[in-house]
Amino acid sequence: MAKALIAGGGIAGTITAIALHETGHEPVIHEAYDRTAEGVGAFLTLAVNGLDALTPLGLKGLVKDLGFDTPRIKMHLGNGRELADFALGGQLEDGTVSQTVLRSDLYVALRDEAVRRGIEVRYGKRLADARDTGGGVLATFADGSSSDGDLLIGADGLRSRVREIIDPRAPSPRYVPLLNTGGLAEGLRLDDEPGVMHMTFGKRLFFSHVVHPDGGVWWFANVPRKQDPAQAELAAMTGDAWREDLIRRLAVDRTPAVEIVRATREIYRPWATYDFPSVPTWRTDRMVVIGDAAHATSPAAGQGAAMAIEDAVTLARCLRDVPSIPKALAVYEGLRRERVEAVVERGKRNGDAKAVGPVGRVIRDFFIARAFKNPPSEDPNAFMWRHRIDWEAPVG
């Protein structure tokens, strides 16, 4: 049994802890913040490959109880033209389809499940440094405390400290020229079928909305922005001024977006989009990064959470079946790197169509319409959601 120190108590870190616990290891989560993340974050759609990976951990039902079925997408242009109506990532053998869920609800449920299973979570433990001790690893924290274990797992996100420790020359995240925002509209009744995601390539921004089974409308928008914004700029994009800016951009399209934004009590403060084309070094003999720390992908891939889940399950299988930790981490990287880098590249391609100027938008709309009129025989995104992990199969 290995004692695994996990830096990061978000979704990736918590699922990793549960997966390791399931294989007989001793995970200890170290969360930088001194409190939990209840009520923090927007919503996400979890693809079927991520849901399938949760099944052997007994977590698929938990997610389905929190979210709602999102089986299809309808694509539109800003002029109101419907381009396509297609399945969102297919379905599992038992009929399970993609699920849309509030990130906070998912985090709280996973955290509570981890605690119920006896997994220790330590708050206020911001990682400062870590070193290999020969037979293990020693982590030190900003509050002056330390913790020792057999390995350190960096599930600490885009600005990962573990990644920096592993490779001080690691590349910085790549800015994808889009801002993200969204919200939950109430008191608005649309005729849309609940659970069908409506995505619109608008003239000035990309807008997506889905009707919740209770009648509310969940939405997000991608706003083109060429320059990487400073945090102070993002912090200023709030209130009525931000709402009116979005409405001005959306008013040129033939969609219900304007009324959806007006019916939203609180619009999410925008955040920038980043990805990693490739992180050259994922691991040492006793440290490894997973999730966004290793391969952040644009939300346009629809795979961020699913990739983190796949990482967690694959890492747990490797540590279960490979006789030494250094070899297990090497096998883990071999199983994951090619796939996740392909997903990051696909997310970049999908996102590029959202960040175009007036001339580029006309060209984009022409080619998008032609592509949907004559779709390829094979969905170029299918490799993402068709992936399956055999939990029971031993890792060679």
Per-residue pLDDT tens digits for 95-147? 999 999 999 999 999 999 999 999 999 999 999 999 999 899 999 999 999 99
Token pair belonging to 238: 């709030």
Residue 39 is predicted with a pLDDT of 47
pLDDT in tens, 66-91: 999 999 999 999 999 998 898 898 89
> Does 17 have pLDDT greater than 50?
yes
pLDDT in tens, 180-235: 999 999 999 899 999 999 999 999 999 999 999 999 999 999 999 999 999 999 99
pLDDT in tens, 31-68: 998 765 544 568 999 999 999 999 999 999 999 999 99
SS3 assignment for the chain? CCEEEEECCCHHHHHHHHHHHHCCCEEEEECCCCCCCCCCCCEEEECHHHHHHHHHHCCHHHHHHHCEECCEEEEEECCCCEEEEEECCCCCCCCCCCEEEEHHHHHHHHHHHHHHCCCEEECCCCEEEEEECCCCEEEEECCCCEEEECEEEECCCCCCHHHHHHCCCCCCCEEEEEEEEEEEECCCCCCCCCCEEEEEECCCCEEEEEECCCCCEEEEEEEECCCCCCHHHHHHCCHHHHHHHHHHHHCCCCCCHHHHHHCECCCCCCEEEEECCCCCCCECCCEEECCHHHHCCCHHHCCHHHHHHHHHHHHHHHHHHCCCHHHHHHHHHHHHHHHHHHHHHHHHHHHHCCCCCHHHHHHHHHHHHHHHHCCCCCCCCHHHHCCCCCCCCCCC
Greater pLDDT, 162 or 351: 162
pTM for the structure as a whole: 0.92
> Does 160 have pLDDT greater than 60?
yes
Domains and CATH numbers, the chain: 3-64+101-173+276-352 (3.50.50.60), 174-273 (3.30.9.30)
Residue 380 is predicted with a pLDDT of 77
**159 confidence band (pLDDT: 50, 70, 90):** very high
Residue whose entry in the numeric block shows the structure tokens 């691991």: 283
The whole-number average pLDDT for the span 247-263 is 96
Which strand ranges, in their side-by-side order, compose the sheet holding 206-211?
82-87, 72-77, 196-201, 206-211, 217-224, 174-185, 271-275
Token pair belonging to 391: 């939990």
